[in-house]
Amino acid sequence: MEPKTALLFLAVVASFVATVNCQRRLPPNQTPSILRPAPDTRGVDFIFCFMSNFQIPERLILIIGGNSPGDTMVRITVPELNILRFVTVPEQQTRFVDIPPIAAAIGTGFQNGTVYVLAQQFVTVHAVNSISNTNDGFLAIPTDGLGTEYIIASYDPVPIEQSQFVISGTQDYTRVWISPTRQIRWRARLYQPGQTIIVDLQRFQSIQFQSAADLTGSHIRSNKPVSVSSGASCTLVPAGVYRCDHLVEMIPPVSTWGKRFTLLPFVNRTSGFIFRVIAARQQTEINVAGTNTWLMQMGEFREYDQVSPFPVAITASRPVLVVQYAKGFESDMMGDPFMTIVPPVEQYIMGTVTFGTFNESSLLQQRQPLRSFICISVSAEALFAVSLNNIPVLDSRRYVPAFGRLATYGADRSFEIARGANTIANPSLFTRFGAIVYGFGLGTSYGFPVGYRLIRQLCTRVNHGTEQVIEYDCFDTNVGNVPPGQPVPGDPTGAGPKLPPEEDPNRPAGGSIPPGNPAFPFVPDPNWPTAQIPLPPIAPPEQPEDGCFSTGLLILGAIAPAAVVFLIMLIILVSLQQSKNKY
């Protein structure tokens, strides 16, 4: 063997041994991420906590729907209570998983019942908090769809019951600022509206806040993503209509709220329904069924009682949250209150979603079946492009006649569905859908969205001249505010219809509002600390710099001295042999 050949052979062997078995180690408490074009409520990683019911729950139930090919292995844990469950969910099937009732939150303070759901493939997770004739559920939002700003949706609780919300940390060293709209007691101190509560959370740590008054509009900000659920332990909807029921829904982050909504009436409820529109920002103009209203403060809301069995269309100049409530049993002797998020048209979902129905409510050791229904709205993309005299028909600006707006944003239908697993499939790339599933029994009910997208709708930038934070629509939805007397966007000539400020009947007190599209100044509560201020540095656990551990490298280190000696001896022997051959 030639010396150069021997050296090349040893180099190849050393390189192979050094690279084989090199495995990257994941940092602790982290899981591999699955890339997807945009987040929605189908996910692989969920962290949340069940809120208090009016008594200790009889059942806490997870309904997990399989949205991926084949079987999906799902692990459910409650880390603080050492609870562990495994379940396999087939494609387009659902599995029910019972969580011990001790995991439900109790009172104001830190909780031990944070639930962690980890799946191999995409699943949909719904959760139900059940007591005899007092049920409600929510759609869980995966961790990649969470945010750092929330506004609470709740309702007026009955005496001795609570309006409430629960916050769960998804990362260590998370700081949260809470600005309540009603009095809250925390750590032996009463916090009044306008004051700020500051708490620190670790991953899998949850905290619940309660008040004897409606907490709707309370504001939450954090320096890292958190999950937020809100509602009431027991409430009458509307006030004075019995019976009392539990309300809960998981709140999407403010950055994902929308401007266009269609609300459908509930099947078999002759009394209609209640809904609320909650503003994300100051000076928001909303149009409900052709009537304009202003929400002048962040977190301000309007409540509506829709008694006629017709859909309701809502348009807003800035992002809003729309929450729909079923009425109490005595309104029409059917069902009971529940609360559900209404997905905005901007967040209608595509593809396939599998979900399950909540089938029974225990009643004195007996079983009472519920009838389940679904309302589906299918978007019609062409509606958003229609214009009249060069003005988009769906524009919410006040100089567009109210009677010219459409009553709905697409095709809608409500009907009864089978108990158990159901799958909505949408093969078209040009249409999307929003859906809400709900059920009624004698004096009981439940309801929650089937699924929705979580695309960011609000973006921010800093005006370097004034250092002012400017918020703007991430997508040109063409539904925004323009000060009276200004030209319509896209109409630089100003030939479109407009009213001078002094002649505008809908002009709010204090002057015209700043532009909502494409940008408007964001005016936060002055009592909030700056959420970008970092927490005191805490050294993270030490990790290998390259995160790579190689058994091959250890083997190479062990045999390197012998290999060097062998190589030197080989070169000497080859040289001696060549010398003999010359003579």
pLDDT along the chain (583 residues), means of 10: 50 44 37 65 98 93 96 97 96 96 96 97 97 91 97 95 97 97 93 95 97 97 97 94 94 96 93 97 92 95 94 93 96 93 94 89 56 89 58 49 50 89 84 92 92 92 74 60 34 36 37 35 43 39 41 53 70 71 58
Pair 223, 149: CB distance under 8 Å: no
**Phi-psi region for residue 541, left (φ > 0), alpha (ψ -120 to 50) or beta?**
beta
Q: Tally the C-alpha atoms within 13 A of residue 558's C-alpha that lie toward its C-beta.
A: 6
- Of 110, 40, 39, 31, the C-alpha closest to 75 is 31
Residues 6+ apart with CB under 8 A from 33: 144
**Cα–Cα–Cα angle for 112, 118, 120, rounded to 5 degrees:** 170
Using only the alpha carbons of the chain, give its radius of gyration.
29
Pair 450, 393: CB distance under 8 Å: no
Chain-centroid distance of CA 79 in Å reads 22
Q: What is the pLDDT of residues 311-341, one digit of tens each?
A: 999 999 999 999 999 999 999 998 899 999 9
In this structure, the strands spanning 206-211 and 245-250 are unpaired
Q: What's the whole-model pTM score? A: 0.76
Long-range contacts of 195-198 (CB under 8 A, 24+ apart): 195/527, 196/527, 196/528, 196/529, 198/529
Domain boundaries, the chain: 3-25+544-582, 43-459
User: What gap in Å lies between CA 150 and CA 180, rounded to an integer?
Assistant: 12
The SS3 of residue 123 is: strand
At 135, the amino acid letter reads: N
User: What gap in Å lies between CA 278 and CA 286, rounded to an integer?
Assistant: 10
pLDDT at 125: 98
Chain-centroid distance of CA 224 in Å reads 14
pLDDT at 468: 75
